[in-house]
Structure 1
Amino acid sequence: MDSLTQAALGGALGGAVLGGRLGRGAVLGGAVLATLPDLDVLIDYGDAVANFSEHRGFSHSLLVLAPLATLLAWGLSRWKPAPGFGRWWAFTTLVLLTHPLLDAFTTYGTQLWWPVGPPVALNSVFIIDPLYTLPLLIAVIIALIRPPALTVLSVGLGLSSAYLAWSLVAQQWMTQRVQDTLAERGLEAVPLMVQPMPFSTFLWRATALTPDQRLEIVTGVFDGDRPPHVEAFPRSPELETEAARLADGRRLAWFTRGFLDYRRDGDRLVVTDVRLGVPGAHPFQFVIAHQGLDGWQPLTSSRLPRPMVNQDAWPALWRRTFALAPVLCLRSLTVGDSVAAC
């Protein structure tokens, strides 16, 4: 999740655990400590693919953060014994470990078990979701103004936790709807990822991979009996095969579980993470090879500039979220009255 959300969650937890003893200091301390895992963005791992796939790595590992939380609790209890080691341990453990656990609900991928496990991505909340953040943020602001506000913090934490639970329920609801649509096409066993569109859990995007096509499906909570809209995008299996021969290609496939697009840009091989963003506005596109006389040769990977999003896309997204327009065309990020508009 975004840094503001992580700080709000950490502040709310810090205040709930130690606010009765430390007041505002517990809220502020929790907010600061909660941002610690994201400092890994300051590390340069050598190239664009490494920076992309190592983010949310060791600094988000429960195997690293759990002992770190215990060490910090010991140090804090030596500095200020009054709350006791147990309270300090609850403070540091809850604040630090909830950071990667919350990130795991998003699509990017969080290496909870680094260095022994693959990334975890539940795909049930967008990286910025005001409906999750606002209860926490309001509770933290109140606790800073009128500490300790323990009841308010508990309510904020309860509402945000309930929203996470709702996101999983909504995801399963939308997944069933999408699977029914795919079954009608004889595609019951294809790789499938279902995730919310930006800023809420009311509109969802499903991505299904066939050998030669990527199907993008948009459906929403307010759609009623309206069938999901399906758009097909061509895939390049020959370029995927070439990328699999390269270390960066294999790394990206591992990190994204294969939800990638491959294209040729002149003599460059470009690999795009199709999980993040939307078609036409995927933010993570990497140049990993160039074509020479002996075929594709690896390059030190670089990231292409983030595509500009059509400014009309945000009103279109709002209208489609609340079923005010029946179809959202992902190719153009515009709405229409029928599938023919796409």
Structure 2
Amino acid sequence: MDSVTQAALGAAVAGMIAGRKASPKVLVAGAMLGTVPDLDVFIDYGDPVSDMVKHRGFSHSLFVLFPFSLLLAWCWHRWRPATAFSFLHLWGLVAACLITHPILDAFTAYGTQLLWPLPVSVAVSSIFIIDPLYTLPLLVTLLAALLWRDRIASLCKAGVILSSLYLVWSVVAMNLIEQRVENQVAGTALEGKPVFVSPTPFNTVLWRIVVLGEDRYWEGLSSLLDESDTVDFLEKDRGHWPLNDKPSTLQALERFTRQFIRYEENGSQIIATDLRLGMVDYLPFRFVFASREHHADWQFPLPVQLNSPEVRIKHLPSLWLRLLGNQEIDADLCHVSEVCHDSAPPSS
């Protein structure tokens, strides 16, 4: 999630756990602790793919954050022995502020290595990386807590409960969409194929669906407000890696994305694109993994990330109408891409 949300969550959790000892200083400390795991963004792993797949790694691991929280609590208690908190109370507060950060991140599509160094990435994909409906309850109750300081703990608790209920709702909504897709592809050639479902930006009403085939993939939108449960899929070329050799960085990206990758040979470059993040042709994570000059042999330099496509403001009203259940707008959204075309899932 974004830094504002993580800071707000850390502050609210700190205020809630501090109880009667909660104060504005505790909220500030909680906000700072809530952003600590994301400091790994300042680490350069040598190339953009490694920076991507190793983000939310060790700094988001429960195996690291638990002992780190113990160390922080011990240092604080040793240097500030007059603190109002007992050691165990302080440790619980620090640990909760740190650990709720990666747990929340695990609900996004990007994925979080909660069990690093084990090669396990958790990505529930039920909430977008920025969702005002999750963040606003935290911000509103924190503002109220600063105004009514005798009720800091109870107000912070209310904010955490409200935002957590919204998170639970996001999982319920995602399961509803997944059931729609499962019902639609049943008995077709897409039955049993990998499916990726994630919310579109800033909401949990309109969802993006990607069904992965061997050399094709199908992308569609489904809103909880749709009158029909049928998803109008766009069939698109997935491509394949054309060479025998495969760079280790590409193998890492394949594991990270669970194979949800599109390959394309663009003249003197071979490009791999993460299909999970973005929509239609607004796919920001595109990397050049091989290049050559004229007809020379392919070379595998360090991967280079291509510039993200610009978001066209004129398409935002269409997305809003689609969220409200206007399924006729799917044809207009298809025009965002010059290579897509309407296609139902292939029959068996």
| Cα gap change, 1:210 to 1:324, in 2 (>3 Å) | closer
Q: TM-score, normalised by structure 1?
A: 0.92
Report the counterpart of residue 141 of structure 1 in structure 2: 143
Counterparts of 1:66 and 1:295, CA distance in 2: 49
Matched letter for residue 76 of structure 2: L
Counterparts of 2:90 and 2:62, CA distance in 1: 18
Larger RCO (CA within 8 A; separation ≥ 6): 2
Counterparts of 2:55 and 2:197, CA distance in 1: 22
Identity %: 41
- Give 1:8 shift: 0.7
Give the total of aligned pairs: 334
User: Would the aligned equivalents of 2:57 and 2:114 in 1 still touch at CA under 8 Å?
Assistant: yes
| Cα gap change, 1:208 to 1:115, in 2 (>3 Å) | same
User: What secondary structure is seen at the aligned counterpart in 2 of 1:177?
Assistant: helix
User: Would the aligned equivalents of 2:14 and 2:93 in 1 still touch at CA under 8 Å?
Assistant: yes
Residues 8-54 of structure 1 deviation map (CA, whole Å, 9 limit, x = unaligned):
10010011112521410111110111001111111111111111111
Counterparts of 1:332 and 1:160, CA distance in 2: 36
After TM superposition, the structure 1 stretch with the greater mean CA deviation from structure 2, 181-190 or 258-267, is: 181-190
Superposition pairs of residues 60-209 of structure 1, within 5 angstroms: 60-78=60-78, 79=80, 80-147=82-149, 148-209=151-212
Residues 216-250 of structure 1 deviation map (CA, whole Å, 9 limit, x = unaligned):
1211111133421111111212x2x5387211110
| Cα gap change, 1:295 to 1:183, in 2 (>3 Å) | farther
Counterparts of 1:193 and 1:320, CA distance in 2: 19
- Which stretches in structure 1 are left out of the alignment for 5+ residues? none
User: Would the aligned equivalents of 2:109 and 2:123 in 1 still touch at CA under 8 Å?
Assistant: yes
Counterparts of 1:88 and 1:174, CA distance in 2: 42
User: Would the aligned equivalents of 2:8 and 2:135 in 1 still touch at CA under 8 Å?
Assistant: yes
Of residues 321, 325, 329, the one that matches 1:319 is 321
Counterparts of 1:176 and 1:6, CA distance in 2: 31
- Give 1:328 shift: 2.7
- Give 1:296 shift: 3.1
User: Would the aligned equivalents of 1:112 and 1:119 in 2 still touch at CA under 8 Å?
Assistant: yes
Residues 289-341 of structure 1 deviation map (CA, whole Å, 9 limit, x = unaligned):
1146674321111111111011112221111111145333554359xxxx69x
Residues 171-193 of structure 1 deviation map (CA, whole Å, 9 limit, x = unaligned):
11100101112225332111111
Report the counterpart of residue 217 of structure 2 in structure 1: 214
User: Would the aligned equivalents of 2:238 and 2:261 in 1 still touch at CA under 8 Å?
Assistant: no
Could you say what the CA RMSD is over the residues aligned between the two structures, in angstroms?
1.9
User: What secondary structure is seen at the aligned counterpart in 1 of 2:321?
Assistant: helix
Counterparts of 1:309 and 1:4, CA distance in 2: 23
Matched letter for residue 69 of structure 1: S
Residues 99-147 of structure 1 deviation map (CA, whole Å, 9 limit, x = unaligned):
0000000001111111112211101001011111110111111222322
- Give 1:155 shift: 1.4
Matched letter for residue 152 of structure 1: L
Counterparts of 2:178 and 2:326, CA distance in 1: 22
| Cα gap change, 1:325 to 1:175, in 2 (>3 Å) | closer
User: What secondary structure is seen at the aligned counterpart in 1 of 2:117?
Assistant: coil
User: Would the aligned equivalents of 1:317 and 1:328 in 2 still touch at CA under 8 Å?
Assistant: no
| Cα gap change, 1:2 to 1:92, in 2 (>3 Å) | same
| Cα gap change, 1:99 to 1:243, in 2 (>3 Å) | farther
Structure holding more strand per residue: 1
| Cα gap change, 1:144 to 1:46, in 2 (>3 Å) | same
Q: TM-score, normalised by structure 2?
A: 0.91
